[in-house]
Structure 1
Amino acid sequence: MSVRNFRGVAEVASPPRRVRRVAFGRQRIDAVLVVLELVIVTILLAAATQQRWPAPEAAVFVALLGTGGLYRSRLNASALEVLPRLAGFCVLATLAVVVVFDPTTPILRAGVEALGVASVLFVVRVLYYAVVRARRRSKPAMRSRTAIVGGGMVASKILQNLEQHPEFGLEPIIVVDSDPLPEIVEWGTPVTDGVENLREIVMRHNVETVIVAFSRTTDQNYVSPLRQCDDLDCEIFIVPRLFEFVHLTNDMDRVHTIPLVHVRRSAQRAWCWHAKRLVDLVVSSLALLLVSPVLLVCALAIAVTDRSGPIIFKQQRTGRNGTLFHLYKFRSMRPVSAATSDIDWSPDRSLRLTAIGRFLRKTSIDELPQLWNVVRGDMSLVGPRPERPHFVEQFESTVPSYQHRHRVNVGLTGWAAINGLRGDTSIDDRAIYDNFYIENWSIWLDAKIILLTFKAMLRGTGS
C-alpha cells in the first residue's frame, strides 16, 4: 500500500487524538444542541405554566424530538432543512407532554404552545447553525477528518465541493483508490491504494468520516472493508449509484448537490445494544427456572429410553470473533465418536435418532440447555446460530460474507433459523440472512424473532 500526491510519494502524518462527538445511538448526536434546546424548553415551560419543576417535561419533549432525528449531527447545517420536521415533532411532543403531565390543558392552547415552541426553537437553530458554519469555515480543526473511497468523477466533484464549501465540516485528508483519475492525484490530497485495508487506513489517520464515492472497483469489493470498520469511531456515507435520480430523504445528507446515504452503523454503537446482555442474562435465568420441570422430565426420559450415551450432548462451536465454546443440547441421537460428530455435516438421522430424540428435535426442546450458554455469556438469546469450527473454516473460504456473521454473539435462535435455514440448507442464504439481522438489529427485531420461535416450537417445525 502506498500514499502519493502530485509532489510524489508522501506519507500522511499521524494526527493527534481529537475529542470525539457523542454517539448515543447508531448516529452522531449534536450534544451541544441537545443541551441548548433542553435549557430553552425548560425556560419556556416554566414561563408558560409557572411550574417549579419543568425539567422532567422538558426532558420528555427533547427526547421525543430526538426520535425524529432532529439532533443528528448534520453536514448541511441549515435550520430551513429541518423546519417542517421540527414543527411536526414539536406538535407531537407537546401533545404527548400535555397528555402525560397536564391532561386538563385545552387542545387549542396546546396547539398554540406547540407552534410557539417550534418558532423559538427554529430561531435558536438559525443562530446555532450560523455559528457552526462560521466555525467550520474559519477553523479547520472543527472539520471532520475525511477519507474519500473512490477516485472517479464523483470523488473529484466532492473534493471540489468540500474545498469551496468548508461549512459542510469535512476536511479531506486521504483518497483511497488504486487507479484514481489524474485530476484526483493533481488535487493535492494524498492518494492511497488498497481499499481492502480501509480499517487500517481509518485507524492510522484517525479518520472521522468515510465517504464511499465508488470508482472502477465493483461494489462487492467494498462490502467486507466497510464491515470491518463497524466498531470504529467514524461515520460512513455512501454516494448512491445514479445519484442524479435519487430523491433526498430526511435520513440522508448532502454535499452541495451530491446526496449521501448515512450508513446505519453497527448495532454495538446503540445504547440499547449494551442492555442486550443484561436482558439475555435476566431472561435466560428466569427461563431456566420456569422450564426446569421440563428439563427434568426430558432428562429422565432420555436416561430411561436410551442409555447408550450421556443425557447432555456437548460440542465445540464457534462464537463471536471466532471464540470457541462448548454448546449444550439434550442428546437426541445415538452417540458416535467425537471426530465423526465434529465433521459429519449430514448424518443419517433415521438410523441414529432415538424415539424421544425425534420429539425433542421436532419441538426444539433439545435446544433448551443452551439457556445455560446464554447465562454464561457464550451466546445470546437471538443471533446467528453457532456452527462447528471444522465447517466454519470451510465456509469462510468459500462463502462470501460468512465470516461477517461472527461480528456479534451467536444465538439460541436467529433470523436465518426462523426462516427455515437450519440443518442441511443453503449456507450462502444463511450468511445473507444472518448479516441482514446484524445490519438491521433492533430491540423489536429480537422480540419478533423470539415470538416467531415460539410459534415454530408450538407448530413443531423444528429441525
Structure 2
Amino acid sequence: MTAKADRVFLLTMLLLDLAMVSGALALAYWVRFQSGWVPYGQYHPWTNYLLMGLAQALLLPPVFGLQGLYRLRRSVSRFDEVYRLVVGLSIVNSLDLAFMSLAARETDVSRLVQALTWAFGIGLVWVGRLLHYAAQGELRKRGFGRQRVLVVGTGQEARIIGEKILGAPELGYELVGYVATNGAQAAEVAGKPVVGRAEGLNELIRKYQVGEVIVAEPGLSHREILEVVARCEPLPVNIKVYPDVFQIMASEVSIGDFNGLPMVNIRDVGLRGWRRTVKRVFDVGFSATVLVLLSPLMLLIAALIKITSPEGPVFYVQERVGLDGKPFPIIKFRTMRPDAEAETGPVWAKPGDPRRTRLGAILRRFSLDELPQFINVLLG
C-alpha cells in the first residue's frame, strides 16, 4: 500500500506542479498584454508562448527531481522546500530562456513575461504544494499510504518520538514499537511494546514490514549507530537519528523536520537506483563545468596560499562520515596556520579565529575556501 500511495502522491504532485507553472505563464501573459497595467509597443499573440510553455513542461520534472522536490517526505522543512523551489524554477527558466534564444529566434517573446512567469511560478507552485500536503495529511489520517516505523531506544528521547508519531496521524506513520539497546529491559514505552533488541533489527524490519527506523537513544556510541545503519543496509528502509545522539556527524548529513523535532537523515532510500544515477550524472557535469570556469581563480588562490604560508599545504583535508556511514575526505583551501590544530586540537572554527592566516581571513569572509568542495562533488 505504501508504494502505491507514494506513486499516487508523486504523480498528483507532478501534475499539480505542471498545472501551476502553466498557470503562472498564463497569468504573466495576461498581466503583460491584456490587463492594461503595463504599456507595450508591440502585441504578442499567445501562440508565441506555446513553445515556451512546452519547454517548461519538459524541463520541470527532471530539474525538480534533481533538486529533491519529488522525494516524498512525511515531514518537510518548509524553508528548505521553498529554497529548492526557487533554485529549481530559476534553473528551469534559465534553460527555457536559452532554449528560446537558440531554437525560436524568429518568435518574439517578452522578457517581462519570462520574469513574471518565474515570480508567479514560485508563489503558485508553493501554494499548490501546500494544498497537496494538506490533502496527503487527510488521506494518511484515513490510513492511505501508512508506513510502519520502529524506534530504536527506550528512554525519554524515544518516548518523545513515539508521542510525536501517535499525536500526528497526518504524517501517516504506524508505530510498531520500540527496539531495546544496551541491555535495556523495558517491556513497553508509552503503551507501545518493546518488540526486540537492536542485534536483531534486520529481522524485525522484515517481520513487521517496516519502512522507516528512527534511532533515539543517547547512550549509543558512534560505532553502535553505524552498526544500526549497517544492519539496515540490505533493506529498503529509511533511517533517521534524533540529533542528540549523532552530533559528531550532524554537519555532513541533511537535517529534516519531524513534526517540530529536528531529525538527521542518515539514509533515504529515495536516492537509490536510477534516481541516484541521474543525480550523480548531474553532479559530475555541473561540478566539472564549475571547476573549469573557476580554475583560474582557484589556481590564483592556491599560489597565494603557498606564497603567504609556504610551510603548509594548499588544501585542508579532513575525513567526515557521509551516506550510510561511509567516510570521505572533505577538501577546502587551507585558511589556518599549519600548526593550528597542534595547539588547540580539532575544534570548530569561529568568527575572528586567531589561528587564521591573513589570506585565510579573506577567503573565509567570502567563502572562497569552500571552492574545492566541487572536487568533493566530482569525486562523489
- For residues 51 and 98 of structure 2, the distance between their equivalents in structure 1, rounded to whole angstroms, comes to 19
- For residues 250 and 222 of structure 2, the distance between their equivalents in structure 1, rounded to whole angstroms, comes to 21
Give per-residue Cα distances to partners, 1:35-57, cap 9 Å, x unaligned.
Answer: 33134435655785532694443
- For residues 224 and 99 of structure 2, the distance between their equivalents in structure 1, rounded to whole angstroms, comes to 51
Instruction: Decide whether the 8 Å contact of 2:211 with 2:238 is kept in 1.
Output: yes
Structure-2 residue corresponding to 1:133:
137
Change (3 A) 1:117 1:217: closer
Structure-2 residue corresponding to 1:33:
13
In the alignment, residue 57 of structure 1 is paired with which amino acid?
A: Q
Q: 1:436 aligns with which of 327, 330, 333?
A: 327
SS in 2 for 1:70: coil
Asked which structure has the greater CA Rg, the reply is 1
Displacement of 1:204: 1.3
Change (3 A) 1:227 1:250: closer
SS in 1 for 2:217: coil
Structure-2 residue corresponding to 1:219:
222
Instruction: Decide whether the 8 Å contact of 1:46 with 1:52 is kept in 2.
Output: no
Give per-residue Cα distances to partners, 1:316-355, cap 9 Å, x unaligned.
Answer: xxxxxxxxxxxxxxxxxxxxxxxxxxxxxxxxxxxxxxxx
SS in 1 for 2:188: helix
- For residues 271 and 71 of structure 2, the distance between their equivalents in structure 1, rounded to whole angstroms, comes to 18
Instruction: Decide whether the 8 Å contact of 1:243 with 1:258 is kept in 2.
Output: no
Change (3 A) 1:79 1:445: closer
Residues 338-357 of structure 1 mapped to structure 2, 5 A cutoff: none
Change (3 A) 1:134 1:167: same
Structure-2 residue corresponding to 1:260:
263
SS in 1 for 2:114: helix
Displacement of 1:160: 1.1
- For residues 448 and 244 of structure 1, the distance between their equivalents in structure 2, rounded to whole angstroms, comes to 25
With structure 2 as the length reference, what TM-score do the two structures score? 0.57
- For residues 272 and 191 of structure 1, the distance between their equivalents in structure 2, rounded to whole angstroms, comes to 35
Q: 1:206 aligns with which of 209, 218, 222?
A: 209
Instruction: Decide whether the 8 Å contact of 1:57 with 1:101 is kept in 2.
Output: no
Change (3 A) 1:83 1:66: same
Displacement of 1:68: 2.3
Structure-1 residue corresponding to 2:170:
167
- For residues 181 and 163 of structure 1, the distance between their equivalents in structure 2, rounded to whole angstroms, comes to 23
SS in 1 for 2:213: strand
Residues 277-426 of structure 1 mapped to structure 2, 5 A cutoff: none
Instruction: Decide whether the 8 Å contact of 1:146 with 1:211 is kept in 2.
Output: yes
Displacement of 1:221: 2.0
SS in 2 for 1:259: strand
- For residues 221 and 243 of structure 1, the distance between their equivalents in structure 2, rounded to whole angstroms, comes to 11
Give per-residue Cα distances to partners, 1:172-196, cap 9 Å, x unaligned.
Answer: 11211145585x8142222133212
Aligned length: 264
Displacement of 1:230: 2.1
Structure-1 residue corresponding to 2:65:
66
Structure-2 residue corresponding to 1:119:
123
Displacement of 1:128: 0.9
Segments of structure 1 that go 5 or more residues without pairing to the other structure are 1-16, 24-28, 276-433, 438-443, 450-463
With structure 1 as the length reference, what TM-score do the two structures score? 0.48
Instruction: Please report the RMSD computed on the Cα atoms of aligned residues, expressed in angstroms.
Output: 4.1
- For residues 132 and 96 of structure 1, the distance between their equivalents in structure 2, rounded to whole angstroms, comes to 31
Deviates more, 1:205-214 or 1:67-76: 67-76
SS in 2 for 1:263: strand
Change (3 A) 1:181 1:224: closer
Change (3 A) 1:249 1:123: farther
Answering whether residue 117 of structure 2 is matched by residue 97 of structure 1, we say no
Change (3 A) 1:140 1:249: farther
SS in 2 for 1:228: helix
